Amino acid sequence: MRSQLGVNFVNIDFENRLMTINFNPEQITIEYMSLLIRSVGLDLIFNEHDVSFWQNKLGNYFVLKQRLKVLYSLSIIAMIIFLSHSSVLFLLGFSILTLILYLSLFIYKSNKHFIRSLWRSDKIGILFSFIFATLGGVSIYYKIGNNLVFSLLFASILIVEMITIYRWSNEKKLLK
């Protein structure tokens, strides 16, 4: 057991017939650890609170990393639209889509059972992004200032991206 990658230490209590294993869940999965323990004729008993804590942390990190890639690709498209001034409606659509993608991180079903909490930075960023997207949509409806509309919608996308990057870097720090 000690020779496995990711196993920090193994302590065997022969009197009580218990083996305590400390391992790094980033290097070795719980399923693989269970197979290893069963291969020596023992059963796996673990602290479920610790396991669910690490699974939630890792799940949040991976889900956020996937969303970050999507937001980067959407921002490139939004930047091209912004620079070419081709269509205000496309920029409005991307502005709304990025906000919906970010909000989907906090929905139970789309997050594969990893429940996340809204931080203060999330609340502020979502509020400002929503305000800018709404003002941009209202400006489109009333045909007010084309450059103002582009700026508002583009700012709403940038705000969502900034809070996503901030959240991702903080969650990455928490994992270490």
pLDDT of residue 176: 58
Same domain, 84 and 169: yes
Same domain, 40 and 124: no
Domain annotation covers residue 1: no
Same domain, 35 and 101: no
pLDDT of residue 110: 47
Element (H, E) at 2: none
pLDDT of residue 175: 61
How many whole angstroms separate alpha carbon 35 and alpha carbon 21? 13
Tokens of 96: 């709304």
Same domain, 98 and 16: no
CB 95 within 8 A of CB 156: yes
Same domain, 32 and 81: no
pLDDT of residue 124: 92
Query: How many domains would you assign to the chain?
Result: 2
Stated pTM of the model: 0.57
51: helix, strand or coil: helix
pLDDT of residue 107: 57
Per residue of the chain (176 residues), what is the pLDDT tens digit?
A: 778 888 888 888 788 777 778 878 778 877 787 788 778 777 766 555 555 565 565 566 666 777 777 777 877 877 777 677 667 787 788 888 888 878 877 655 444 555 567 788 888 999 999 999 999 889 888 887 778 888 888 889 889 888 888 887 887 776 65
Same domain, 94 and 55: yes
